[in-house]
Structure formats: C-alpha cells, structure tokens
Amino acid sequence: ETGVTQTPRHLVMGMTNKKSLKCEQHLGHNAMYWYKQSAKKPLELMFVYSLEERVENNSVPSRFSPECPNSSHLFLHLHTLQPEDSALYLCASSQGLVLVRELFFGEGSRLTVL
C-alpha cells in the first residue's frame, strides 16, 4: 500500500456539481497538504494542515473547501468550479511543519471541469 493514497484518480464534473477529493496517508505524519499542478507551472500550494489545524491558505478561491478530520485524512470539497480549475490535485504529507525536508505525494486526482 502506497504511503499517500488519493481518490478518485480521475474526476469529470460540471460547473454546478459538488464533489470531493479524498487523501489518506499511512505514514504517521502530522502535516498534510493540497497542491494544484497545472501544465508548465510550478506546483501551487493551496492548503496546509498540521495536526488537523489549517495553518496556511494561499488565497485559494472559496469554491475549494478543505477538511481535515484527523491527521491521516484530508479532503478537498469542490463546488461551482470553473474550467480553469481543471488540473492535477496532489495531496502530500510530511512528518511535521518545522524544517520540512521531504514531502510524500500521492498520485493525484486529475480533475476536468466542463
């Protein structure tokens, strides 16, 4: 079983739909992240959680709503998205937030907004 598991791997949704992305980490880490990966752009940090508390929110539109019920699970709730939100959404975890040296990524959820 991989360290960080994301579901679904692929998602197609209309602009009026509501869907959620799920991430689970099996590494015993305390910090979890959502990144957006668009073609030819740097990885874009969206949210950071440490011990279920949101510690960073990088000016992400409110149509993206994160939820971290415990240190192993992270969700990204999606509603009324725009076509430009189509991207690969990556979840990652790290041991902690102080002096982050390595992020462990999931395989991503490929989102297409029609």
Q: Which residues pair with 74 in a beta bridge?
A: 23
Q: Using CB under 8 A, which of 22, 43, 63, 65 touches other proteins?
A: 43
Token pair 């937030």: residue: 97
Q: Which stretch binds other proteins (CB under 8 A): 12-20, 39-47, 57-65, 73-81?
A: 39-47
Angle at 100 between CA 69 and CA 75, to 5 degrees: 20
Q: Are 111 and 87 in contact (CB under 8 A)?
A: yes
Site string for other proteins, 78-97 (x = CB under 8 A): ------------x-x----x
Of 11-19, 40-48, 60-68, 72-80, the window that binds other proteins (rule: CB under 8 A) is: 40-48
